Structure 1
Amino acid sequence: MSHSNEKLAVRIRCNAERALLTELFLTPKPGLVDRRNSGAHNDMTLQTFIRSINAISPWFLRFFEWGASNATIAPGECLALIRPIGFECETAMFAATGGINTHKGAIFALGLLSVAAGRAEALRIDITRENLCFMVADFCHGIVGRELGNAGRTRTAGERVYRRYGLSGARGEAESGFATVRRLALPIYDDLLQQGDCENHALMRVLLELLAFNADTNLVSRGGVDGLTFVRDYASNLLLQNPKPASDLLDKLCLFDDALIARNLSPGGSADLLAVTWFLAQLPASKIWTLECVDRHFCKKMNRIVNT
């Protein structure tokens, strides 16, 4: 790997780590672990998450390096080949947390984006928000149908939620190229920063928007559709009451937090999307490639390799 590639790999790894820390320390976050409390979790604390982030951060460098070293592999074959690295990263997480799942969803999302960054760099495709998201969509094409829609024994909470309610969770977000982040979270975040809002406030508003819109399967797993509806309605009402920055918004978010804790509800899927939002926000949003452009570039790259 060249010196410039190494610098980029380190930058991607650092941005993934900072995305997780930024999400963690944002306070208050309804139902989630933050500096105020442990949310609706009695098995983890702020320190549990910090240990987890320290353990998994080096793996984002591995994800990038894999993407750069295997850029000639067809996109549809990448996911199965990446997964062993993901499992090793999860093992490191569980070792650091004593078996507690703190970041499984974030490893999946940010790991895929890190692979996409390495692949884009090797193929000389601009590393923009859209390009990385389109590459992830290409890696994950058909994943919902294959992993959630197949008949057979239901093993995970995600499978149960999909088969009962049709909600595809983290897999659906990845297969869509993080459509919720691209179409909702990032435009709101960018607009608020351009208006002069601080990063902390912009992230709070984005989290509220995600809670109002995202069909968070973590909420459904804990509280059924009623739990999801409660959170979405509560967040929507807060947004209606506070169309502009309000001095008492933090107090209202604390009450929201208390309400979710009382109901044992934790919107972990939305927390992961918030981290993805911050990660992608560090990248430019220009020079958009479509999936067809990426495929065409990949084919040209393969033809050059075959003919040399």
Structure 2
Amino acid sequence: MAGLLATKPRVINVAALAEEALWQELELTPKPGLVDKNNNGSHRDMDHALFVRSIQAISPWFARFDDAGREFALRTDSEQLALLRPIGIACEQAMLRATHGVNTHKGGIFALGLLCFAAGRLAEKGSQINALSLSSQVSGLCQGMVQRELASRQSRATAGEKQFHQFGLTGARGEAESGFATVMRHVLPYWNPRAMHEMLLRLMKVNPDSNLVSRGGMAGMRYVQNYSQQLLARGWQHNDLVEMDKQLIARNLSPGGSADLLSVAWVLGGCKY
């Protein structure tokens, strides 16, 4: 009996981890260019209180993403993505109602919603839930997304379409289609939930963040990547992050894509083993 108890797999609540992830990301301070407890970063239309309301509106939906993954577990990947979209849109609408139209967490809803949906699918099939299985599930669900939604469209109407055609950047879609490869390769091997600033710097060092490109072009993205690399290489202290925050605010740069991936890292890190 003792042996059976010892090998019983632990229960992982990905929906709860997703909510945790949003709170952890918000409360991390200082957070260069981003909304935190000290300031609004490079955002004129957002503050800490707005993010609190946004998270409160979003969080109940994570269980619904999980439930949908269970309900549609036996459908094909392409069918499931189509079934998932209305839930994602409804969650976004709940966010926008809470924030009076400000997009605080659209990227987080997309990424964390996919992870919760994948977790529900795995649970329904009796499969193990861990970082690798979640990554694989999300990648499978999103296969072909970049080609369908970026490469094959010629309108170049959205920021994502423009960046893909101009710079080859795939943004949040590419991350999801890769199974969050940036997190899997550059954060999880060093995962430490008590060193979230370090994890964020690791992300900013390598992430081709579309938010930065929207605000500062490729030069703005490279500035943040190089700045992060230098801090990681020489070692950093609290005041270095305060100064980095000032520099990014002065340049109107906000690494929002890396903030979203930090939330993904919290979920996958919680499922690592």
1:232 maps to 225
* Residue type at the aligned position of 1:273: L
1:73 shift after superposition: 0.2
Unaligned runs of 5+ in 2: 1-10
1:91 maps to 93
1:256 aligns with 2:244: yes
1:126 to 125, 128, 151: 128
After alignment, is 155-164 or 95-104 more displaced?
Answer: 155-164
TM-score (norm 2): 0.94
1:282 shift after superposition: 1.1
1:103 aligns with 2:105: yes
2:155 to 153, 156, 168: 153
1:206 aligns with 2:199: yes
| In structure 2, C-alpha distance between the alignment counterparts of 1:188 and 1:169, rounded to whole Å | 23
2:183 maps to 181
2:5 maps to none
Whether the aligned pair in 1 keeps the contact of 2:153 and 2:161 (CA below 8 Å) is no
Segments of 4+ in structure 1 off by > 3 A? Answer: none
1:222 shift after superposition: 0.6
1:280 maps to 268
1:77 aligns with 2:79: yes
| In structure 1, C-alpha distance between the alignment counterparts of 2:49 and 2:165, rounded to whole Å | 35
Matches within 5 A, 1:284-303: 284-285=272-273
1:220 shift after superposition: 0.3
2:7 maps to none
After alignment, is 70-79 or 83-92 more displaced?
Answer: 70-79
Larger radius of gyration: 1
2:253 maps to 265
* Residue type at the aligned position of 1:65: D
Q: Identity over the aligned pairs, expressed in percent?
A: 51
* Residue type at the aligned position of 1:212: K
1:34 maps to 36
1:150-208 per-position Cα deviation (integer Å, ceiling 9, x unaligned): 1321222111111110010100000000011111111112xxx4xxxxx44x1111111
1:142 maps to 144
1:171 maps to 173
Unaligned runs of 5+ in 1: 1-7, 194-198, 286-308
Secondary structure of the residue that 1:76 maps to in structure 2?
helix
| In structure 2, C-alpha distance between the alignment counterparts of 1:16 and 1:117, rounded to whole Å | 11
Equivalences, count: 264
Taking a change above 3 Å as real, the CA distance of residues 160 and 76 of structure 1, as seen in their structure-2 partners, is same
* Residue type at the aligned position of 2:270: Q
| In structure 2, C-alpha distance between the alignment counterparts of 1:105 and 1:151, rounded to whole Å | 21
2:4 maps to none
1:239 shift after superposition: 1.0
1:12 shift after superposition: 2.5
Superposition RMSD in Å? 1.4
* Residue type at the aligned position of 1:12: V
| In structure 2, C-alpha distance between the alignment counterparts of 1:183 and 1:153, rounded to whole Å | 33
Secondary structure of the residue that 1:148 maps to in structure 2?
helix
1:30-70 per-position Cα deviation (integer Å, ceiling 9, x unaligned): 10000111000010100110100000101111100000011
* Residue type at the aligned position of 2:149: E
| In structure 2, C-alpha distance between the alignment counterparts of 1:272 and 1:151, rounded to whole Å | 25
| In structure 2, C-alpha distance between the alignment counterparts of 1:13 and 1:137, rounded to whole Å | 19
1:241 shift after superposition: 1.1
Secondary structure of the residue that 2:59 maps to in structure 1?
helix
| In structure 2, C-alpha distance between the alignment counterparts of 1:38 and 1:155, rounded to whole Å | 28
Secondary structure of the residue that 1:35 maps to in structure 2?
coil
| In structure 1, C-alpha distance between the alignment counterparts of 2:57 and 2:86, rounded to whole Å | 17
